Amino acid sequence: MDLLLLAHLVADGNQDAKASSAPVWATWVPAVITLLGSLVVAWWSGRKVDKQTEISKQGAPPELLRYKEWLEASEKYKGLVNFENVDALSIASEEYREIEASRKLAFEIAIWERKVLAVCPNIQAQKRMVQIPVSKINEISNPDISGEIALDIDSYFRPVISETLWLIVPFIYFSPFIFISGFSGPSIIFSLFAIALVLPAFYSIIPNHNNGTLEANFYTRKMRVGFLEEKYKQQGEIYNSSSLKTYDYWEKWCMVEGLRYSTIFDEWADYVHCPWADKGWFKRKWHKVWCYFCPGHYVRRSLKGKTKVLWGSYKDDKLNGNLKEKIKLKKKFGETLAEFLKKLELE
């Protein structure tokens, strides 16, 4: 829509524009096409992530460069003080101890960065994964399996607050139609319908895609489980997924958003359980539409133990932690409570 023309229409009080609905409908069609085009562009950009990632891997990771700098600093310091005995130098010089500590820290982060680049193909997810605190990297890379491993709120990549600005886009696209048409009934209905139609995409799908939130959660969990399996193997034991305690709220959030994300990005359906899998054409479309608008309905039913498959959970069951065990306990508690209440009624 030409904003200059809109300004002239509002300033001049052009009655012809209000009287005729034809120009209004004429502006709706290109606006909808433009909006759909932007969604297609976002979808297509996701298809090119793998290729872009391969190009990005050709350069040296920044943490590896930082490690090399500290290594050079350590060697130069030894040359300056003319002290080749590293152990004695570590005791005598606090400055050298600080240099060595920084070098080791940079080395650990460089290893983590390299593993992230090797495992995760999504550039946006890579950026978030390499930025996690060093303490969290140590927690993931060197898990303590002597007790239960509980995932806290910081174990999840959460939505970025700034991405809520995407919510403004549908209103910018469709709200002007209401003013142009003089607040006519059809224009209001159309605008509200159009906003409701695209709101889930701008509220959830596009922000998650731009930030790689779901991918970051998936690949970090995959790496965590890999380290756990290795640790258990060193102890001569087999990894049991129930030993990984999930955080209820954010685990449910990942399931809900994963289902909605899969309605647009088919490749994500390879990682999570979707209700339209192995269904006919009509049922596939039906479930996709419902998961686009109301994915929480499917997830809530699953978390209550009402479905055989946990919709939205990872297909690799090792990544779901103790999710199934918690659902079984809740279901058993509900059944026990129901039996107890029945006995009270009979008495």
pLDDT digits (tens, 9 = 90+) for 41-54: 554 455 444 444 44
Contact between residue 49 and residue 123 where contact means Cβ atoms under 8 Å apart: yes
Alpha helices in 2-151 (DSSP H): 3-12, 15-19, 22-47, 49-56, 62-81, 86-92, 94-119, 123-129, 134-141
Contact between residue 170 and residue 178 where contact means Cβ atoms under 8 Å apart: no
Q: Tell me the per-residue pLDDT of 194-204, one tens digit each, with 9 for 90 and over.
A: 888 888 888 88
Average per-residue pLDDT for the chain: 76
Instruction: Quote the pLDDT of residue 203.
Output: 85
| Average pLDDT of the segment spanning 323-342 | 83
Instruction: Quote the pLDDT of residue 35.
Output: 53
Instruction: Quote the pLDDT of residue 125.
Output: 94
175 has pLDDT over 90: no
146: DSSP letter = T
Query: What angle in degrees, to the nearest 10, is found between the helix axes of 248-262 and 295-303?
Result: 140
pLDDT classification of 163: cutoffs 50, 70, 90: low
Contact between residue 131 and residue 225 where contact means Cβ atoms under 8 Å apart: no
Name the more confident of 253 and 153.
253
7 has pLDDT over 70: no
207 has pLDDT over 60: yes
Report the alpha-carbon distance of residue 79 to residue 72 in Å, rounded. 11
Grouping H, G, I as helix, E, B as strand and the rest as coil, residue 54 is helix
Instruction: Quote the pLDDT of residue 258.
Output: 96
Report the alpha-carbon distance of residue 273 to residue 277 in Å, rounded. 8
Instruction: Quote the pLDDT of residue 17.
Output: 38
Instruction: Quote the pLDDT of residue 20.
Output: 41
Q: Tokens for 120, please give them.
A: 């995760």
Contacts (Cβ under 8 Å, ≥6 apart) of 54: none
Contact between residue 327 and residue 303 where contact means Cβ atoms under 8 Å apart: yes
Residue 258 vs residues 3, 62, 91, 218, 347: alpha-carbon distances, Å:
37, 31, 53, 10, 47
Which range of 6-20, 265-279, 320-334 scores highest in mean pLDDT? It is 265-279
Burial class (CB in 10 A: 0-12, 13-18, 19+), 294: middle
Report the alpha-carbon distance of residue 220 to residue 222 in Å, rounded. 5
**Element of type H or E holding 259:** helix 248-262
Three-state secondary structure of 9-43: HHHHCCHHHHHCCHHHHHHHHHHHHHHHHHHHHHH
25 has pLDDT over 60: no
Percent of the chain exceeding pLDDT 90 equals 36
Q: Tell me the per-residue pLDDT of 120-142, one tens digit each, with 9 for 90 and over.
A: 999 999 999 999 988 899 899 88
Report the alpha-carbon distance of residue 28 to residue 43 in Å, rounded. 23
Report the alpha-carbon distance of residue 209 to residue 125 in Å, rounded. 9
pLDDT classification of 223: cutoffs 50, 70, 90: very high
CA dihedral 332, 335, 340, 344 (to 10 degrees): 170
Under the phi-then-psi rule, with left for phi > 0, alpha for psi from -120 to 50, and beta for the rest, what region is 212?
left
Residue 16 vs residues 29, 52, 187, 302: alpha-carbon distances, Å:
20, 51, 16, 56
Instruction: Quote the pLDDT of residue 110.
Output: 83
Q: What is the pTM of this model?
A: 0.72
Instruction: Quote the pLDDT of residue 272.
Output: 97
Instruction: Quote the pLDDT of residue 182.
Output: 65
Cα 85–Cα 86–Cα 91 angle in degrees, nearest 5: 105
| Average pLDDT of the segment spanning 25-46 | 50
Radius of gyration, CA atoms only, the chain: 27
296: DSSP letter = H
Instruction: Quote the pLDDT of residue 73.
Output: 53
Instruction: Quote the pLDDT of residue 193.
Output: 82
Which of 312, 318, 114, 321 has the alpha carbon at shortest distance from 214? 312
Instruction: Quote the pLDDT of residue 334.
Output: 78
Instruction: Quote the pLDDT of residue 197.
Output: 87
Among 25-39, 94-108, 298-312, the range scoring the smallest mean pLDDT is: 25-39
| Average pLDDT of the segment spanning 7-27 | 41
Report the alpha-carbon distance of residue 297 to residue 268 in Å, rounded. 19
